[in-house]
Structure 1
Amino acid sequence: MRHNGMGDLVWHAEYFRLVAATSRDGQVTVVVPPSTRARDLLGHEPWVREVIDYDRRPRRSEGRRGRHSGLTGPLRFGAELACRQLDRMVLFSDRPGRTLVACLRAGIGTRIGYGTTWLQRRLLTEGPRIALYQGPAVGLYHDATALAMAHGWCHGPVVPRLTVRPDAVHRMRERLQALPWPLHVMAIGASETYKQWGARRFTALATLLATRGHGVVLLGGPAETALSLEILSGLPQPLRRQVMALTDLPVPDSVAVLSLAQTCIGNDTGMSNIAAAVGTSTTIVLGPRPPLEHDPVHITLMQAPSLEDIRAEQVMQQVLQLRVSTGGTSPGPGARQAQSLRMV
């Protein structure tokens, strides 16, 4: 998979698992960009033999050149693959050239992909081909579903699911135990500024929830440390003990936090997709962007002509409805985790 995001990886992971079920020893080598954090999200899965970084196009925010960039990048990447003696490649992409050139260099005899361009069709060895999704929603999940169905790996869309590492659950349960229940996670990160709901609105929502006696976690990465402090500083002083900022966690621990919460509210970001994939009811503040259709059970979308049109009061009402529909009497993170692990 060539797409860079953790959410992109979540949408594809179940289809990787289905490919593994038809592969030698029931395992696959997962080849994805390093920014997907696949080792953290999938490295513990029994169907993953190895994760290999395809480091061609880092995000601009990283400020570096990829190891597999440039005209000779495919040849370098192919040399890395060659020593692993891989039999088959399944390409979840409509972009044909560089990855397939690398696979030719690596001597991978069976090459499967979308087949949507003439060059891809020349370099692939097996059909059937698919037609790319043309609807109003984000298309990546639909395209991956179409490829899996075309090859008989499934008979319909498979809702993304991730498993949670038990050691991470233990660590995070202890860290969160001082917060009141019910517990809500706010996924405050965003890969692009146009996806960011903003400190003022997150502060307003955290205030509303904490005023009702609920616990709130502000979850992000190191890049969101300043944002989390801005949100905390905007809260009334008596409510701050009910809100915890976590921006220093490794990815497995962040996943565990999401699994322990009753709801997640977040930007259109990888953590929001991960929350749904571990069985947590998730509200995504989407604004005018194309809808996400990969998990209609766990994901609720807040859409509007702009993000500024979505008010904290509206989001809180949605969250409270989700709390009622999922059962609001659970005694705390321990019980919530037992439910989550059964779901995944």
Structure 2
Amino acid sequence: MSAVDTRPRTAVQLQLNGMGDLVWHAQYLRCVAEQSQGGQISLIAAPTTMAREIIGHEPWLREVIDFDRRPRKSERRRGRHSGLDGLWRFGAELAPKRFERMVLFSDHPGRAIMVCWRAGIRTILGFGDTWLQRLLLTKSPWIQRYRGPAVAGYKDATAFAIAQGFCSAPIVPRISVRPDALARMQQRLATLPRPLHALAIGASEPYKQWGEGNFVELASRLVARGHGVLLLGGPAEKALAQDILARIEPALRERVATLTDGSVADSIAAVSLARSCIGNDTGAVQFAAAVGTRAFVVLGPRPPLEHDPEHVHMLQAARLVDISAADVEASVLALLG
């Protein structure tokens, strides 16, 4: 007879709702899974994290459960799990799954605690950063949230994972490439010159957008050197990618390709084939670093990223508009040799 698996059936909820946020947490989610029933977890996350595309193929992930609380404004709808009634409904949806433990990567666990009560989950692990959290959460090692100058998401996740014994030291974010996506991108990008540079032209917020003109100049400089360039974004960047391509000297356009019609898994595979990924502070540059590609983030005067000093290189100035294409090109070529 095989031994009974006494590890708890575990759900993990990720509060942050960006794709880069998910990348920062991926290795810690794996660590939680190693201490959970069947070596797997169920991940509760916002649809905007694109969790199925990014980590859905990982053997330690049982399933992704959408927490539909705050749809994008462009969707113009109320989330299925919005409001108190939505949270109560979500708890009822989780109840049949009979989770024994909820692990909360969240600094505002109040809503999740309500969901857990409705779902019958009695072990609820969280940061415990405030006296109220310590009153409502299961007693366990607490952390104090990071309040330094850098982006806090990875810092808090690291402290929490170590305090709970899921790992013993910080883990640099890493994700794996889906084999089917890699095969598609190898074929699609085969004719581009090497070295290949992916330009992450998308931006979730206007203040993160470096601008069309800068991407035109940077792409032109790189292809003039004989390098290949991939203009990378989502469907929302299709027009921008075509506008950038149209402004590049016609004789050099064959060294440039666009990828705005692929899946998120395709984007991850594409940046894994590039020598560098350069662009706005968006999911694509986080994908690149997490698969071992050098990522150059045009960040401007914003909190620095400190989760992967080897692969994430920040290009900062007093204002985003002060960062020139010439400066970016020089930084990239100097580091890549």
TM class by shorter-chain length?
over 0.9
Task: Measure the CA separation in 2 of the matches of 1:310 and 1:73.
Answer: 44
How far does the alpha carbon of each residue in 1:177-223 deviate from its partner, in whole angstroms, 9 at most, with x for none?
A: 11111100011111000000010000000000000000000000000
1:223 aligns with 2:214: no
Paired residue for 1:159, among 159, 162, 172?
172
The equivalent position to 2:193 in structure 1, one of 180, 184, 187, is 180
Q: CA deviation at 1:73?
A: 1.3
Percentage identity across aligned positions?
60
Q: Distance in 2 between matches of 1:229 and 1:64?
A: 31
Q: After superposition, what is the alpha-carbon deviation per residue over 1:303-333, rounded to whole angstroms, capped at 9, x for unaligned?
A: 1111100000111111112322xxxxxxxxx
Q: Does 1:44 align with 2:65?
A: no
The question of 1:270 aligning with 2:267 is answered no
Give runs of aligned pairs for residues 33-72 of structure 1, distance below 5 A. 33-72=46-85
For residue 317 of structure 2, the aligned residue among 300, 304, 310 is 304
SS of 1:71 mapped into structure 2: helix
Could you state the TM-score of these two structures normalised by the residue count of structure 1? 0.92
In structure 1, the gaps of 5 or more residues are 325-344
Match of 2:150 in 1: 137
Partner of 1:333: none
Instruction: Tell me by how many angstroms 1:4 deviates.
Output: 1.2
Superposed displacement of residue 20, structure 1:
0.6
Q: TM-score, normalised by structure 2?
A: 0.94
> Structure 1 residue 99 and structure 2 residue 137: aligned?
no
Match of 2:11 in 1: none
Q: Which of 252, 260, 268 does residue 255 from structure 1 map onto? A: 268
Q: Deviation per CA, 1:23-69, whole angstroms, max 9, x where unpaired?
A: 11110001110000001111100000110011111232333221100
Superposition RMSD on alpha carbons, in Å?
A: 1.0
- Of 116, 127, 139, 1:126 maps to 139
The equivalent of 2:184 in structure 1 is 171
Instruction: List per-residue Cα deviations over 1:249-302 (Å, max 9, x = no partner).
Output: 011111100111111001000111011001101100000110001111101000
Alpha-carbon shift at residue 173 of structure 1 (Å): 0.5
Contact 1:187 1:264 in 2 (8 A): yes
The one-letter amino acid of 1:188's match is I
Amino acid at match of 2:200: A
Q: After the TM superposition, which residues 21-40 of structure 1 pair with which residues of structure 2 at under 5 Å, given as runs?
A: 21-40=34-53
Give the superposition deviation at 1:97: 1.3
Question: Residue 47 of structure 2 aligns to which amino acid in structure 1?
Answer: P
- Partners of 1:96 and 1:119 within 8 A in 2: no
Deviation at 1:74, TM superposition (A): 1.1
What SS is found at the alignment partner of 1:287?
Answer: coil
2:224 to 211, 223, 245: 211
Q: How many residues are paired up?
A: 324
Q: Which amino acid aligns with 1:206?
A: A
What is the distance in 2 between the residues matched to 1:306 and 1:228?
24
Q: What is the CA distance between 1:92 and its match in structure 2? A: 0.6
Please tell me the residue identity of whatever aligns with 2:174. R
Distance 2:240 2:189 in 1: 20
Q: CA deviation at 1:14?
A: 0.7
Which residue number corresponds to residue 5 of structure 2?
none
Tell me what 2:8 maps to.
none
Partner of residue 16 from structure 1, selected from 29, 36, 49: 29
Q: Does the CA contact (< 8 Å) of 1:43 and 1:51 recur in 2?
A: yes
Superposition deviation, residue 96 in structure 1: 2.2
Alignment of 1:112-123 (within 5 A): 112-123=125-136
